[in-house]
Amino acid sequence: MRLYVDSADVKQIAHLVEYFPIAGVTTNPSILVKEKRPYLAVLKDIREIIGEDRELFVQTLGETADEMAEEARFIISKLPGKTIVKIPVTEEAIKAMKMLAQEKIPVLGTAIYTPFQAVMAAKAGAKYVAPYVNRMDNLNGNGVKVVSEIAKLFSIYHLKTEILAASFKNIQQAMDVCLAGAEALTLSPDFIGKLVSYPATVNDIKDFKAQWTAQFGSAHSVLGNYGEV
C-alpha cells in the first residue's frame, strides 16, 4: 500500500514527508484554491519539498479532449520529476487519455463512481484510477464494494492500472479499501496522523516511562550504562 497526501498545504506536506513513508501528493482545483496563491507557484513549492522521485498529481480543467491534452502537456512541461495528470472520467476524458498514452504522459482517471468508468480509463491507458469512496456512500452507494469490483475486473482482464482510492470519512473505510484491493490511498493530513494515533499506545508509553523512572530515576535513559553489570 502506497500513501499519498491529499493537500496543497506546503507546511503540512513537509511535516508528513519527514515523518511518514509518503509516496507523493495529490491535488485538485479545490485544494489549490484554498492556498490563495498562484497555483503554479504552490505546485513548484510542493515539488521542491517532495523531490522529483515522489509523484505529484495535478488536475486539468478542460472540457474537450484537446483542451485536456493541451493542459496536460503544459503541466508536464512546468513540473519536473514524476508528475501525473488527473482527468475526471468523461467521454472526452477517455479520448484525451488515449491521446496522452501515445505521448507517454501518465494519467490518473479521477472522480470515478462506477467500475465501468475505471475499466474504460484503464483500457484508454490510465496509469491510475481514483474511485471516490465516501462520496459514493453519500449517494447511497457502496464505495468499498465498488473498489473491490474494480480490483476484480482489473485482475480478470489483466489490466495494469492501479487503484488510488480517494475520499474517506474514517480510517475504517481506508482499511476496507486496502483489503478490497486498492494499491494506494490518498488521505488528508489529519487522516494520515490518525493512522498511527491510538489512545492505548499513549497510555502504554506513560506506563513504561513511569516504571523505568521509578527504578532508575527520571534523568536516566537506555543510552546510559545503568543496565550494565
The pLDDT value given to residue 148: 98
Mean pLDDT of 90-109: 98
Mean pLDDT of 156-170: 97
pLDDT digits (tens, 9 = 90+) for 117-138: 999 999 999 999 999 999 999 9
Catalytic site residue 78? no
pTM: 0.92
| CA distances, 20 to each of 3, 6, 14, 186 (Å) | 9, 14, 10, 13
The pLDDT value given to residue 88: 97
How far apart are alpha carbons 207 and 221 in whole angstroms? Answer: 15
Residues 6 or more apart whose Cβ sits within 8 Å of residue 82: 24, 52, 53, 54, 55, 56, 106
How far apart are alpha carbons 121 and 108 in whole angstroms? Answer: 8
Q: How confident is the model at residue 221 (pLDDT cuts 50, 70, 90)?
A: confident
Residue 12: left (phi > 0), alpha (psi -120 to 50), or beta?
alpha
* Choice among 86, 98, 104, 145 that is catalytic: 86
How far apart are alpha carbons 162 and 94 in whole angstroms? Answer: 17
Mean pLDDT of the chain: 94
The pLDDT value given to residue 226: 60
User: Which residues are 107's β-sheet partners?
Assistant: 85
Q: How confident is the model at residue 66 (pLDDT cuts 50, 70, 90)?
A: very high
Q: Which amino acid is at 70?
A: E
How far apart are alpha carbons 34 and 95 in whole angstroms? Answer: 30
Of 181, 186, 136, 142, nearest in space to 162 by CA:
181
Here the cell at position 194 is 490518525
Q: Are 98 and 124 contacting, i.e. CB atoms less than 8 angstroms apart?
A: yes
Q: How confident is the model at residue 217 (pLDDT cuts 50, 70, 90)?
A: confident
Task: Report percent pLDDT > 90 for the chain.
Answer: 86
The pLDDT value given to residue 37: 96
Task: Give domain limits for the chain.
Answer: 2-197
Q: Which amino acid is at 81?
A: G
The pLDDT value given to residue 213: 85
Q: How confident is the model at residue 223 (pLDDT cuts 50, 70, 90)?
A: confident
Strands 55-59 and 22-26 turn out to be: parallel
Q: What CATH number matches the domain at 2-197, 3.40.718.10, 3.20.20.70, 3.40.1360.10, 3.20.20.30?
A: 3.20.20.70
How far apart are alpha carbons 138 and 143 in whole angstroms? Answer: 9
